[in-house]
Structure formats: structure tokens, C-alpha cells
């Protein structure tokens, strides 16, 4: 819970809640960055001061992901949506298809962009189930002749998450981790390319982190305009153009904060505890319900609804929640309902406070 009385409890899906300690550190840097007499937004992005930021940022990312030497890390402007087009531009071969595990809104966006460039093949989809569960994995025969397989590890809108991430023999795997990157311990060396926007667990919107195996990068298209070549961004040290210096420094502060919390194992256990606490209430509620299949429920984005007989109370719930200091609980415009996002910076106390509010609301509805 906040030590500042004018702060609300923000359950937004992104841009999302930041730790107050990080906000305070960022605020200080805007006036006098590391004793330079200049604010963070004023320093030259190729200065030795900012070189140190980028070196520590890569070091901490590599350390927390436990990456081996065959993987590269770099940062891109445009957020994860830029990569929906950049990935097929770089890796989709003329005589092959990109394979997709379709699990909702964001894979749909990626598929649409891929189709502008070449063939996007649907290997599995849970659309027939309204994306309330994850798709059944394809067989080896289904994945034949695709040059890579792409999926989204956590679906912010539908509230599903791969708790055991799919792997495929002899086929590169590309994973959009925008909304659960660094939320749990994983073997990050098993993937050929992972990417994610920073605005959920790592700071500011408008930047994506990209982690790519060297063997996969070597297969990229070198005939593209330079800005669309992923290898060019790596070679330029994430500074092919003037970068979002504030967002990159904020990401560094978030990595330092994450280490102070005990790293990925500790934060993963806390994220599971928060989610299970809220789901436990939803499953016994006579007013609210969690529609996602239990095995596939996200620990990051808890999607819930009022039961059909109470649907007319939706606006009342959101209004009373806002009056009580619980903000950004409305579900995505594509599905409605409600959503509570429990990213790394969200405290267990905040989740407990939300649950208590929901219990009181339920009592009023039933009275």
C-alpha cells in the first residue's frame, strides 16, 4: 500500500503500476543525473554517462535471465507492436510459412501483420472456445515446413497464460512475453527469440526488449531498410536512432528493484500468491466469476465478470470501485467485464484490499 495519501490502487493492464521507490529515483534523475548537473532528459545518448546506463542494463538483464553467450540483448523503439512486422520481415522465408498458436487479441495482431508479408499458418487456436483457454498443441506433422513458431506467453485481454511454455524440436520458437516477462523463473535459453514491451513489468511504454539466439539472428534478412534490420539495432548497441533515454534508465531501475525483491524465484512465488488469493475468492463468490479454464489462468491479468443475473450491476461496480480508490478495473473494450492486473509491482496488500472491497460489494448486491 502507498505511503502517499493521494495515490490510488492502480490495477491497469499497461502502462501499469511502478514501485514508489523507483518513481522517487526517477524523479531525482530528472534534475541532476548522477551528479552531472544535467537532467536525465538532457544528457547526450552517446555520452559516457549513458554508456554506463546501457552497459549495466545489459549486464543486469543477462544476469537475471541467466543467458548463455549465444544470446544477444537489445532494445527497440516502437514497443512490441513494431516486432509484429519486424519479425516476419527478418525471418519469414519466401517458400515457407510462419506458424502461430493463436490465443487471442495479440496473436491476432501478429498474424495480421505477418500476412502482409507472407504466409501465416494457424497451427492451433482456441478461438472456438472464445479464448477462455489455451489452444491444444499441434503435432510434429502440423509444424512441418514452418520457419518459426510464434505465440504469446500471457494474454492480457483474455486472462490466459502458458504455465509450461511450448517447445518444438528443430523449429525456432518466438515468444511475445510483453505482459509476463521477468515475472517468474524460466529457462530463457530455450527460446530463439523473445520480445516484450516494457510497460507492464519493466517501466515505460514505447520500448521493446529483444533477446535472440545468434544462430537465429544469422538467418535474418539483410536486404531490408536498415531500421527494420534487427541485426542493425544490435550492432548499434540499441542506439541506431536517438533512444528513449528515460525509458531505458527506468528499465534499469526496475531491474535493480527486482533484484532487491529477491529475483525471479521470489517474485514468481509472490505473483502466484497474489493471483491465487483473488481466484480463490472469485471461485466461491455467488456474484462474481472467473471464466477462464483453471489450468490456463493468468497470474498477471485476472479476468472476471459478474454472473449473468447480476450483469446490470457492472457500471455500479466500476463506479463504486473508483470512489473507493480502485482504478482501471474495466475489462478490455473487446470483451468487457473486469480485469485486475497484478504485475510485479502490485503488492499483496493491494490485492487483499481489492478482494475485501469486492466482498463488501457482493454483500450489498445480495442484501
296 is catalytic: no
Share of the chain above pLDDT 70, in %: 99
Name the helix (H) or strand (E) containing 29: helix 20-29
pLDDT band at 169; cut points 50, 70, 90: confident
214 is catalytic: no
Say how far apart CA 92 and CA 90 lie, in whole Å: 6
Q: pLDDT (tens digit, 9 = 90+) per residue, 263-295?
A: 999 999 999 999 999 999 999 999 999 999 999
Domains and CATH numbers, the chain: 23-260 (3.40.640.10), 264-366 (3.90.1150.10)
Average pLDDT, the chain: 96
* 145 belongs to the catalytic site: no
Work out whether the CA dihedral 318, 323, 329, 331 comes out positive or negative.
positive
* Distance between CA atoms of residues 171 and 174, nearest Å: 10
Residue among 162, 176, 274, 305 flagged as catalytic: 176
pLDDT digits (tens, 9 = 90+) for 73-108: 999 999 999 999 999 999 999 999 999 999 999 999
Which whole number is the average pLDDT over 350-358?
98
Contact assessment for residue 14 and residue 342, using Cβ atoms and an 8 Å cutoff: no
pLDDT for the residue 141? 76
Asked if residue 221 has pLDDT above 90, the reply is yes
E strands, the chain, are 9-10, 71-77, 97-102, 119-125, 146-152, 154-155, 160-161, 173-176, 193-197, 207-213, 288-289, 301-306, 326-327, 338-341
**Residue from 162, 200, 296, 305 carrying the catalytic annotation:** 200
Of the pLDDT bands very low, low, confident and very high (cuts 50, 70, 90), residue 140 is confident
Mean pLDDT of 157-186: 97
Which residues are within 8 A (CB) of 288 and not within 5 positions of it... i.e. 6 or more apart? 281, 282, 304, 305, 306, 307, 358, 362
Alpha-carbon distances of 76 from 5, 25, 207, 293, 349, rounded to whole Å: 36, 24, 6, 34, 35
pLDDT at 18: 97
Nearest-CA neighbor of 327 among 296, 353, 293, 309?
A: 353
Round to whole Å and give the CA distance between 346 and 288: 22
Query: Cβ(152)–Cβ(175) under 8 Å?
Result: yes
**Predicted TM-score (pTM) of this structure:** 0.96
Model confidence at 2, pLDDT cuts 50, 70, 90, reads low
- Rounded CA-CA distance 163/168 in Å is 16
CA atoms within 13 A on the CB side of 111: 18
Amino acid at each position: 500500500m502507498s505511503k502517499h495519501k493521494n495515490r490510488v490502487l492502480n490495477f491497469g493492464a499497461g502502462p501499469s503500476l511502478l514501485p514508489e521507490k523507483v518513481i522517487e529515483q526517477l524523479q531525482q534523475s530528472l534534475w541532476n543525473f548522477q551528479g552531472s548537473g544535467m537532467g536525465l532528459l538532457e544528457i547526450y545518448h552517446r555520452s559516457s554517462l549513458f554508456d554506463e546506463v546501457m552497459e549495466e542494463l545489459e549486464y543486469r538483464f543477462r544476469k537475471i535471465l541467466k543467458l548463455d553467450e549465444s544470446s544477444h540483448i537489445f532494445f527497440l523503439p516502437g514497443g512490441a507492436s513494431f516486432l509484429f512486422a519486424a519479425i516476419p520481415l527478418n525471418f519469414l522465408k519466401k517458400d515457407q510459412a510462419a506458424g502461430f498458436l493463436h490465443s487471442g487479441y495479440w496473436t491476432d495482431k501478429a498474424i495480421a501483420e505477418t500476412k502482409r508479408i507472407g504466409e501465416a499458418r494457424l497451427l492451433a487456436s482456441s478461438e472456438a472456445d472464445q479464448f477462455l483457454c489455451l489452444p491444444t498443441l499441434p503435432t510434429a506433422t502440423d509444424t512441418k515446413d514452418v520457419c518459426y513458431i510464434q505465440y504469446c506467453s500471457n494474454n492480457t485481454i483474455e486472462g490466459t497464460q502458458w504455465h509450461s511454455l511450448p517447445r518444438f524440436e528443430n523449429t525456432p520458437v518466438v515468444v511475445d512475453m510483453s505482459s509476463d516477462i521477468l515475472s517468474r523463473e524460466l529457462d530463457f535459453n530455450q527460446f530463439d527469440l523473445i520480445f516484450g514491451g516494457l510497460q507492464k513489468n519493466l517501466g515505460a511504454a514505447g520500448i521493446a526488449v529483444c533477446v535472440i539466439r545468434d544462430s537465429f539472428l544469422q538467418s535474418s534478412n539483410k536486404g531490408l531498410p536498415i531500421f527494420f534490420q534487427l541485426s542493425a539495432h544490435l550492432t548499434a548497441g540499441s542506439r541506431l536512432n536517438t533512444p528513449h533515454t528515460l525509458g531505458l534508465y527506468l528499465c534499469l531501475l526496475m531491474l535493480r528493484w527486482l533484484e532487491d525483491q529477491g529475483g525471479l524465484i521470489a517474485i514468481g512465488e509472490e505473483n502466484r500468491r497474489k493471483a491465487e488469493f483473488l481466484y480463490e475468492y472469485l471461485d466461491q463468490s455467488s456474484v462474481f466469476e472467473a471464466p477462464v479454464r483453471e489450468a490456463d489462468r493468468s497470474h498477471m491479468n485476472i479476468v472476471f465478470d459478474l454472473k449473468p443475473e447480476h450483469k446490470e450491476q457492472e457500471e455500479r461496480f466500476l463506479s463504486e470501485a473508483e470512489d473507493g480508490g480502485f482504478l482501471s478495473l474495466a475489462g478490455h473494450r473487446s470483451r468487457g467485464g473486469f480485469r485486475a492486473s497484478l504485475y510485479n509491482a502490485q503488492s499483496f496488500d493491494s490485492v487483499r484490499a481489492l478482494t475485501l472491497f469486492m466482498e463488501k460489494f457482493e454483500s450489498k448486491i445480495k442484501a
